[in-house]
Structure 1
Amino acid sequence: FLQTEGFVALEGVYRIRAGSQIEESSDDPVPDDDVVGHDTSVQSSRDNVHLYDFHIVYSFSYKVPVLYFQGLQAGGQLLTLDEIKKDLPPHSLQLLNESKWTFITREEHPHLSRPWFTLHPCGTSDWMKLLLHKLGDKDRSLQYLPAWLSVAGQAVGLKIPLKLYCSS
């Protein structure tokens, strides 16, 4: 994660559509050198690759972090919400469908002034209190962001590295 202009960014996360052997990678799974125009099987695998950007922005009105995200096709076109949902693992779809705390909306990114998808922050404060209620003030402040990201990230299929918890 990089801190950039008032938000934290994780950008360039490759995701390959369901049915593929590779689920996520930060390296280009199909280098441009390997794409052959007349080979439709290679080209179609390139079309199944989507690039995702995730931004964490603090909401002063809700007083919680908010996860903004967008997906792009290999050609640079923005993905629709339906296309994004097709990229999500089953447990993420289940979380979005069943949880009253987690739903996706489209809002203007506060620092980029462009519409991005976001996990709506309306229930975040309540579920974070439930998640961290047994921790003391110092531990709560140290564990807040990793705990929040473990829940918010799950909803959009973002895998959180274990060392994020260990370094907190």
Structure 2
Amino acid sequence: MLNSETSPTTDCESDPAVNVQSTPIGKGVFADREFRAHDVIGWITGKIHDDPEYGSEYCIDIGGTATLEPDAPFRFLNHCCEPNSQFTWDELEEDSDAIPEVYLLALRDIEAGEQLTIDYNWAADCAIPCHCGAETCRGWIVTLDEIDQLPAKKQQAR
């Protein structure tokens, strides 16, 4: 459920609800104000690629063969096994060629100054070690549904 009192951020320059800062692992996105659970933090803009072979460190699967390569600031969202936000979009009709509008939604209350994080939910064959520090860290950046499918070499390193 979207919070109707929140106006979505479309550009961190024109509505500075978020900012990009340095973190120990690179860049990250931080809240400039408080967000309540279910608030829309911002709309995700970027380039749509309708190519099943396309991929990058930042692309978001938006269904079928389409991926979204997000623009800043949201391309710098970092992974956490206990994320405070998530990408979401409205479901479109099955035969629709329209591309869904993607937005970042707060999963819980977020304080000003807090880093915004998402769960990358990567497939087991793409998993890399996770160092998010969350109490329930899985040890790997991998979707929970595929953690048991990690290759044996990765399983031993757990």
- TM-score of the alignment, normalized to the shorter chain, above 0.5: no
Work out which structure has the larger RCO, using CA pairs closer than 8 Å and 6 or more positions apart in sequence: 2
What is the TM-score when the length of structure 2 is the normalising length? 0.28
If you compute each CA radius of gyration, which structure gives the higher value, 1 or 2?
1
Which has more strand, going by share of residues? Answer: 2
What is the TM-score when the length of structure 1 is the normalising length? 0.26
Which has more helix, going by share of residues? Answer: 1
